[in-house]
């Protein structure tokens, strides 16, 4: 069952409060689009919020605000940080919520989110980019979720296969200039890679991967959040082949999935889907105990619903 109401939140007057089974989402209509809050039952917000930006309606610079957002890749200072202070239009046709912003002033790309509320504690989130300009643009939909402090992000490694049975590479791994392989927040395991938020480590950290298994997990507040997404082996992905990226700095952990690169003709659109799954999960073994971690994760992974490619 899904209930939708409109009420103030965090300094913004027009916000949708959505109760879907055990999940509560809050989405502002005054700026964005942003899914500001995602809570499971009576737990704290799984998403990060930036208190100094909440309630803002104007500004000269781009503001993250927090929560979940839609960007278009590859990242560039001129295209990625276009302020989105305009009000968001919405349509609610049970069980689908559609959110649309005005086209960006500089790029003429229009962003839209569709939330399809599914049985159980699942939400399919469709990220749609439309070219309202006069010339083709190459881009990829980029779904970025800012998770709260103390979050643990987990992605799968590819299946182990011995040499010489497997001679071809299994996946690509993309590193940024500021990525440090010995960063204490990262665990490079045989079965999983984990990146956790730790505010005592002041540097920034990012890596990306070709994630063929199509899922990424985040654990915090005794809740397991898993997003699933498609991988197309015939497609070209941004950032040296990434359909998944993750970033952290003090205060938040970002988990991001990307659709394939596409040349978007004027008035054409492209979309990229994620399915969000939430479960109660009181404890999660440490990353170094990979067998125990797999034992806990496997029953949840068996219930994943994958979006169509």
**Tens of pLDDT along 139-166?**
999 999 999 999 999 999 999 999 999 9
Residue 111: Cβ within 10 Å count: 24
Q: Note the pLDDT tens digit of each residue in 17-51.
A: 999 999 999 999 999 999 999 999 999 999 999 99
Looking at residue 125, its pLDDT comes to: 98
Tokens of 252: 């938040």
pTM of the predicted model as reported, rounded to 2 decimal places? 0.97
**CA 5 vs CA 8, 41, 209: distances in Å:** 10, 17, 38
């Amino acid at each position: 069952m899904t209930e939708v109401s409109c009420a103030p939140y965090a300094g913004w007057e027009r916000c949708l409060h959505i109760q879907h089974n055990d999940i509560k989402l809050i989405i502002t209509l005054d700026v964005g689009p942003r899914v500001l809050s995602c809570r499971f039952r009576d737990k704290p917000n799984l998403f990060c919020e930036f208190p100094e930006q909440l309630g803002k309606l104007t500004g000269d610079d781009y503001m993250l605000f927090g929560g979940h957002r839609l960007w278009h890749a590859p990242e560039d200072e001129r295209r990625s940080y276009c302020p989105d202070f305009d009000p968001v239009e919405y349509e609610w046709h049970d069980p689908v919520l559609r959110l649309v912003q005005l086209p960006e002033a500089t790029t003429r790309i229009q962003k839209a989110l569709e939330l399809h509320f599914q049985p159980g504690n699942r939400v399919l989130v469709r990220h749609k980019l439309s070219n309202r300009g006069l010339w083709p643009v190459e881009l990829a939909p980029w779904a970025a979720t800012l998770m709260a402090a103390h979050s643990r992000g987990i992605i799968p490694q590819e299946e182990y296969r011995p040499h010489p049975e497997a001679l071809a590479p299994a996946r690509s791994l993309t590193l940024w200039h500021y990525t440090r392989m010995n960063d204490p927040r990262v665990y490079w395991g045989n079965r999983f890679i984990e990146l956790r938020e730790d505010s005592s480590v002041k540097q920034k950290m990012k890596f990306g991967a070709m994630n063929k298994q199509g899922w990424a997990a985040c654990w915090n507040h005794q809740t397991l959040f898993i997003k699933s997404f498609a991988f197309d082996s015939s497609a070209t992905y941004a950032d040296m082949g990434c359909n998944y990226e993750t970033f952290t700095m003090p205060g938040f952990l970002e988990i991001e999935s990307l659709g394939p690169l596409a040349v978007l003709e004027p008035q054409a659109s492209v979309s990229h889907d994620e399915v969000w799954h939430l479960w109660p999960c009181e404890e999660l073994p440490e990353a170094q105990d990979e067998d125990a971690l797999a034992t806990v994760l496997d029953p949840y992974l068996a219930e994943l619903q994958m979006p169509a490619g």
